[in-house]
Amino acid sequence: MGIVIETFIWEPSSAVFIFIFFSSFLLLSLFPFYLSKHAPTTKSSAFSDHPFSSSSPRFQLYFLLLYSLASVLEGLWLVYGEFELVYYGISKEDTVTFMLIGFGAALFVGSLLGLVSDLIGRKKTCLVFFILHLIVGIWKMVAPSPSFWVANLCLSLATSIFSFSFETWAVVEHDKVDSKPGHRQDILNETFWLMTFFESASLIGSQVIGNWMVGGNLEKGIGSPSIAATLLAILGIACMSRHYDGTTKIMTFKDYRMSFSVYILGDRRIWLLACAQACLHFSIAAFWILWAPTLVADGREAFLGLIYPCLLGARMLGSTVFPWLINASLRTEDCLTCAFVVQALLLSIIAYDYEEIGVLVTQFSLYHACIGLILPLLARLRTMYVPNELRGGMISLSLAPANAAILFVLMQRGYYRTIENSTMIAFAAVGLFMAAGCMYVLKREAFKGDMKEEPISTFKD
């Protein structure tokens, strides 16, 4: 008599998605009541009547729509990038090579794009982001067997631009329309957490769009995400070109170099902030490289297509906690220290403790909830310490050590097999502990100096 072995594919319960949706809804809907009772003097344009210029909310809506569009473009390649490589017969060794080239481009070229953005204008750099995605989309449509070397380089540079250009553009534009310091900071705080919220929602939406366009016919639908990306990139270029403003005041290279040396390289607080950003970036990159192999280790099977939106939903939920913490008068550095420690502990457990898929997904979700909180908190600290005119260069350069570390561990793991996946996750955990230490030291530095809530401006009117 034959033995029938039943296979079990793990997938999250629908109750998880319901919980994330209603938790986010409750946090957002109850926040105005919290403000009215506990923080009556705090103003926020999304939840109270603010005597601000009508141009400010219009720009915020316009910016968030474009940022969501850019996030969908990033998500389309993130979801179907590896799937396309497998479809066209790319081996695992070549896939590792593509990843090394991508992170290498981000390290040696992407690290300088922030400096270029500050010099030529942030909105022009955002426009370049859409142009790069347009090039990749057209390339994949017209080439019968597209070269992934070209696509990988363009997408890596686009991702580097995405990491800093939209944020710096939003901050500079808010400076133009908001003259009141307190009101300006409220609007920026709101924009930061909404960016994280909409980015997560857009990444989920990109998965839905990709699945719908590919459908059940793989032979005919494999190129459909490229068509969608091309159309979305054209839409983004049209929107940005239509509202283009070429009157932005830009520094000369000499003035920029001097200002960068004084305000960025000469400020210990910004070094601490940059170190924390690099550690977070490294941990996120390591997570997305290893999350699927960790779940399916030892022959386990999981429905990764349902776990992916679960993680992003947790990040959305984490971002909705940000306005509560800020209006509770908690120090930004304290919140970041706690969040980094929680993340580090979670990755430490994942690295050295074998667990069931359900427990791993729970830990992954908590990790991403912390990301949803950390990203707007770091953006708030950048507004407090980094001059707006130097913001893009500071962000892009701060990510260079993280990209170098990713290149190193990928090479050791992918080519030489000298480290294991658990070791990479452990490195990420150590980095997060370092980030928590940086935030603790940054808090002490703030007490020593005269910390200013408003960013330093290198332009004198």
SS (HEC) of 163-190: CCHHHHHHHHHHHHHCCCHHHHHHHHHH
- CA-CA distance, 416 to 15, in Å (whole number)? 43
pLDDT tens-digit readout, 89-128 = 778 888 888 889 999 999 999 999 999 999 998 999 999 9
CATH 1.20.1250.20 is the classification of domain 251-449: yes
- CA-CA distance, 184 to 317, in Å (whole number)? 25
pLDDT at 328 over 50: yes
Mean pLDDT for all residues in the chain: 85
Same fold, 56-247 and 251-449: yes
Q: What number of helices (H) and strands (E) belong to the chain? A: 18, 2
pLDDT tens-digit readout, 148-166 = 788 889 999 999 999 999 9
- Mean pLDDT of all residues in 43-49: 42
CATH number of 56-247: 1.20.1250.20
State both tokens at 7.
């296979």
- At 457, which helix (H) or strand (E)? none
| Domain ranges across the chain | 56-247, 251-449
Percentage of the residues of the chain whose pLDDT score is greater than 90:
53
Beta bridge partners of 301: 9
* Closest C-alpha among 392, 124, 155 to residue 241: 124
Who contacts 135 (Cβ-Cβ below 8 Å, separation ≥6)? 154
- CA-CA distance, 62 to 76, in Å (whole number)? 22
* Closest C-alpha among 438, 138, 461 to residue 271: 438
pLDDT at 13 over 70: yes
pLDDT tens-digit readout, 410-459 = 999 888 888 899 999 999 999 999 999 999 999 988 766 544 444 444 44
- CA-CA distance, 41 to 428, in Å (whole number)? 40
pLDDT at 354 over 90: no
pLDDT tens-digit readout, 379-398 = 999 999 999 999 999 999 99
> Across 26-40, 273-287, 296-310, which has the greatest mean pLDDT?
273-287
